[in-house]
């Protein structure tokens, strides 16, 4: 049995310019959102990632027309049908669950197989379901399949026990077509939610307070076509800030919203990384000064993003002294540490915390991408390790990073893909 790996020859300094793509975590919600419209919707700045391909399959199963021209995707739901989503395509990504909210909003019922996604510890959707029930849906679950049905959707006040990104967006999808007013309290404030609300508003939805912890929605009868450009991917941008700090000399990262990266930028400054923020770009001067250890605690936005603690861990292995990463979102999001230790890192694990003893030189090895952001952490490690690193399970990386190899080769990295025998 052979397997395709990403192979990196480490030690080459990176220089030049990289342009950040559209945000994956907005894209996987924006594309399902388009089916709430009764007319075609155009989305610009769509990243080239496998999650988009998986969503296009689901849209076609609903008899939507999907056309792709470069980074523009047009979805035409004019002849869409009220059909169950129970094919294997549903399991390719966790964000399939957004079809629960949009189909409930559009047809007042939906039948969908339990979503897949990276293993980051238990990932329930109880808050999504609680929101749908509050709007009037009856929910049954059999053979790995959810069935949601409502005679009608009536606006309600919904308090989220946890400021869940997915639950906030999914409830928004059903509420925009519910009768009357819905208030979501303790809502998540991530920028991707604001981007989704901007699209819905352009389609005719009535939404206020997005980006705060209280969102108010007045339901409407119809939503119409429009076009939308996706915000830049703050997690890809953060990943490249760390790549530049770890392996760069002078790297210009374009198409960034610096405000979305405040927590990471302040931590990198605390570590001693030299950066210049110029409008929607950041120049990172890598390798100019020794790196200091720091402590990280992941929080919901605008706190330090859980998705960035894994890539940053690789940089922390190069900082003098002991750093600590405390996870408050996904307690088990530490599978990258074992892989980094195979390359010479010295990371210990405690309860929802990693202790990174630095600085430790890294050497190439064959390592496994256990999830998307672990894959990113291993790419960064490969760039700075001596010798060759081979990363397996690279489908995780391709789910969330648009042409990462090409972007890195443009900066001077020695990175290829080839088949190995298992």
Output the CA–CA distances (angstroms, integers) from residue 73 to 44, 47, 397, in the order listed.
7, 10, 22
Can 118 be counted among the known catalytic residues? Answer: yes
For ligand EPZ, the closer CB: 164 or 323: 164
For ligand EPZ, the closer CB: 173 or 319: 173
Are 231 and 191 a contacting pair, CB within 8 Å? yes
Tell me: does residue 164 bind ligand EPZ (CB under 6 A). Answer: yes
Q: Least distance in Å: CB of 287 to ligand EPZ?
A: 27
Which of 411, 361, 355, 419 lies closest to 386 in space, CA to CA? 361
Tell me: does residue 141 bind ligand EPZ (CB under 6 A). Answer: no
Name the DSSP letter for residue 403: T
Name the maximum alpha-carbon separation found in the chain. 64
Tell me: does residue 297 bind ligand EPZ (CB under 6 A). Answer: no
Tell me: does residue 351 bind ligand EPZ (CB under 6 A). Answer: no
Tell me: does residue 47 bind ligand EPZ (CB under 6 A). Answer: no
Name the DSSP letter for residue 153: -
Q: Least distance in Å: CB of 362 to ligand EPZ?
A: 23
Tell me: does residue 228 bind ligand EPZ (CB under 6 A). Answer: no
Query: Which residues have a Cβ under 8 Å from the Cβ of 146 and sit 6 or more positions away?
Result: 100, 110, 111, 112, 113, 114, 129, 139, 140
Which of 80, 177, 187 lies closest to 136 in space, CA to CA? 177
Stretch that binds ligand EPZ, among 1-9, 157-165, 238-246, 268-276 (CB under 6 A): 157-165
**Shortest Cβ contact with ligand EPZ: which residue?**
166
Tell me: does residue 233 bind ligand EPZ (CB under 6 A). Answer: no
Tell me: does residue 70 bind ligand EPZ (CB under 6 A). Answer: no
Tell me: does residue 268 bind ligand EPZ (CB under 6 A). Answer: no
Q: Least distance in Å: CB of 280 to ligand EPZ?
A: 22
| Residue 304: φ, ψ to 5° | -70, 125
Tell me: does residue 373 bind ligand EPZ (CB under 6 A). Answer: yes
Locate 155 and state its tokens.
């606006």
CB-count burial class (<10 Å; 0-12, 13-18, 19+) for 221? exposed
Locate 254 and state its tokens.
């374009």
Are 227 and 200 a contacting pair, CB within 8 Å? no
Query: Which residues have a Cβ under 8 Å from the Cβ of 403 and sit 6 or more positions away?
Result: 48
Tell me: does residue 327 bind ligand EPZ (CB under 6 A). Answer: no
Which residue has 């995780």 as its token pair? 396
Residues 7-26 that bind ligand EPZ (CB under 6 A): 24-25
Tell me: does residue 148 bind ligand EPZ (CB under 6 A). Answer: no
Q: Residues touching ligand EPZ: how many (CB under 6 A)?
A: 27
For ligand EPZ, the closer CB: 230 or 319: 230
For every residue of 179-198, DSSP letters joined together read: BSEEEEES----HHHHHHHH
Stretch that binds ligand EPZ, among 54-62, 118-126, 149-157, 194-202 (CB under 6 A): 118-126
Query: Quick one: which of 34, 156, 216, 306 contacts ligand EPZ (CB under 6 A)?
Result: 306
For ligand EPZ, the closer CB: 356 or 372: 372
Cα distance between residue 96 and residue 252, in whole Å: 34
Within its chain, how far is the Cα of 82 from the centroid?
28
Q: Which residues bind ligand EPZ (CB under 6 A)?
A: 24-25, 28, 95, 118, 120, 122-128, 162, 164-167, 188, 235, 306-307, 329-330, 372-373, 400
Catalytic residues: 118
């Amino acid at each position: 049995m052979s397997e395709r790996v990403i192979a990196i020859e480490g030690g080459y300094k990176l220089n030049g310019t990289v342009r950040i793509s559209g945000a994956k975590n907005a894209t996987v919600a924006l594309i399902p959102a388009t089916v709430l419209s009764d007319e075609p919707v155009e989305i610009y700045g769509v990243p080239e990632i496998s999650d988009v391909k998986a969503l296009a399959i689901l849209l076609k199963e609903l008899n939507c027309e999907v056309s792709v021209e470069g980074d523009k995707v047009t979805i035409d739901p004019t002849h869409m049908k009220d059909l169950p989503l129970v094919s294997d395509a549903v399991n390719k990504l966790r964000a399939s669950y957004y079809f629960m909210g949009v189909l409930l909003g559009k047809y007042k019922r939906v039948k969908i197989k339990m979503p897949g996604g990276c293993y980051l510890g238990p990932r329930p959707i109880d808050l999504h379901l609680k929101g749908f029930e509050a709007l009037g849906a009856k929910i049954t679950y059999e053979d790995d399949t959810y069935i949601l049905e409502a005679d009608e959707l009536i606006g309600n006040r919904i308090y989220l026990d946890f400021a869940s990104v997915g639950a906030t967006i999914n409830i928004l999808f059903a509420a925009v077509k519910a009768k009357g007013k819905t208030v979501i309290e303790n809502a998540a404030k991530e920028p991707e939610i604001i981007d989704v609300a901007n699209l819905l508003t352009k389609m005719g939805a009535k939404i206020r307070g997005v980006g705060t912890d209280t969102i108010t929605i007045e339901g409407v009868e119809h939503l119409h076509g429009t076009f939308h450009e996706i915000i830049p991917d703050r997690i890809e941008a953060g990943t490249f800030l760390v790549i530049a700090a770890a392996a760069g000399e002078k790297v210009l990262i374009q198409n960034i919203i610096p405000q979305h990266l405040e927590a990471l930028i302040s931590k990198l400054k605390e570590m001693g990384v030299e950066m210049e923020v110029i409008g929607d770009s950041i120049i990172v001067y890598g390798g100019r000064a020794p790196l200091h250890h720091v402590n990280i605690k992941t929080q919901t936005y605008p706190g330090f993003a859980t998705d960035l603690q894994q890539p940053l861990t690789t940089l922390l292995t190069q900082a003098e002294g002991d750093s600590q990463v405390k996870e408050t979102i996904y307690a088990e999001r530490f599978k990258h540490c074992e892989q980094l230790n195979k390359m010479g890192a010295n990371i210990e694990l405690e309860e929802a915390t990693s202790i990174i003893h630095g600085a430790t030189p890294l050497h190439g090895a064959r390592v496994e991408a256990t999830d998307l952001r672990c894959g990113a952490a291993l790419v960064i490690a490969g760039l700075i390790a001596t010798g060759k690193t081979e990363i397996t399970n690279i489908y995780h990386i391709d789910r969330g990073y648009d042409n990462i190899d090409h972007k890195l080769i443009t900066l001077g990295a020695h990175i290829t893909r080839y088949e190995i025998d298992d």
